[in-house]
Amino acid sequence: MAFLEAHNLHKTYRLTRSNHVRAMRGVDVTVEAGEMVGIMGPSGCGKSTLMHILGLLHAPDLDAAPPPSLAIDGLDVTTLTDRKRTQMRAERMGFVFQAFNLVSTLTTVENVALPAEYAGRRRRDALAAALEALRLVGLEDWAEHRPMELSGGQQQRAAIARALVTQPDLLLADEPTGNLDSENTAEVMALLHWFNRERGQTIVLVTHDTRVSEACSRVLTMQDGVIINGRQTEVA
């Protein structure tokens, strides 16, 4: 059984009463544990929507036929309540965003500790775990700095530390290098690759960048709300 299995995922956004956008039109995805899967495709093809559904930020349309299904580690999460999905996100998932999305009023270590606190750890333990995560991404000396004092690359590394502080089963990254220059892109990808290869971290990432997708063990291409191919890549 695959770590993540999704079948017949549809998503329609109702912008107005008469204006609907069908962002996904029946997506099937499977991700094995320890895989690093890239999702590529042109803007508006539904890859971010897929990420949101896989990350339990949105639910798929339940009125599709046949009914959609989404299982993570054997657990059917298709119809979980908001409370349960939030708990899943806190305990079993990590998120990296294009815009880093660190909380500006908190220090780097406090930012990184947030998911651990949300997952129920005591603040002291969460901060200790955050320091360890910062050490892994090479930012231990920046723990007490505010995000605005960090460079773009450093902020994204801090965001990766935040995503991994709870040692989640699944790391979801939405255009993680979209706001970075080539040098920082290479650093961030090397970091993600290291976590995938050395720690067996399952990663699903959305990207436009072919250099990024080349680091993935498998790349799925989306177009018009469906996956049109799945390419297996041999990664060195």
Partner 1 sequence: MLRTLMRRKLRTLLTVLGITVGIWALMVMGAMANKLTALVDGGSSYFDNKIVVTDATNPAFGFGNVPMPVEVVERVGRIPDIAVAAARVSFLLDPDNTGSGFSAPDFVIGFRAGFDQGYETFRSELAQGRYTTLEDEGRRVVLLGADLARKFDAGPGDAFSIHGEEFEVIGVLEPLLMFFDTTAIIPWTAAQELLVQNEALEFEGGTDIPVLTSMVIAYPEPGADFRAIMRDIGEALPQTRTVTGEDFDDQFGSTIAIFNAIILSVALISIVVGGLSVINTMTMSVAERTREIGIKRAIGASRGLIMRELVLEAGLMGFIGGLVGLGLAALVVYSANDAGKTSGTVLFLLTPWIGTLGVAFSTLLGAVAGALPAWNAARLDPVEALRYG
Residues of this chain that bind partner 1 (CB under 8 A) = 52, 55, 57-58, 82-83, 86-87, 89-91, 93-95, 97, 101-105, 114-115, 118-119, 162-163
CA of residue 198 relative to chain centroid, distance: 18
**Which residue stretches of 78-181 are H helix?**
82-92, 108-118, 123-136, 152-164
- The type of residue at 187 is E
Q: Minimum distance between the CB of residue 93 and partner 1, rounded to whole angstroms?
A: 8
**Given the complex with partner 1, which of 36 and 96 has the nearer CB atom?**
96
Q: Minimum distance between the CB of residue 15 and partner 1, rounded to whole angstroms?
A: 12
Radius of gyration of the chain (CA): 18
> Which pair of structure tokens corresponds to residue 214?
């080349």
Q: Minimum distance between the CB of residue 210 and partner 1, rounded to whole angstroms?
A: 26
Q: For tokens 């590394």, what's the residue?
A: 157
**Given the complex with partner 1, which of 97 and 219 has the nearer CB atom?**
97
**Given the complex with partner 1, which of 11 and 193 has the nearer CB atom?**
11
Q: Minimum distance between the CB of residue 168 and partner 1, rounded to whole angstroms?
A: 10
How many alpha carbons lie under 13 Å from residue 106 in its C-beta half-sphere? 16
75: three-class secondary structure by DSSP: strand
Q: Minimum distance between the CB of residue 114 and partner 1, rounded to whole angstroms?
A: 6
Q: Minimum distance between the CB of residue 234 and partner 1, rounded to whole angstroms?
A: 33
**What are the residues facing 11 on neighbouring strands?**
24
147: three-class secondary structure by DSSP: helix
- The beta-strand segments (E) located in 18-65 are 20-31, 36-40
- The type of residue at 153 is G
Query: From CA 133, how far away is CA 166, in angstroms rounded?
Result: 9
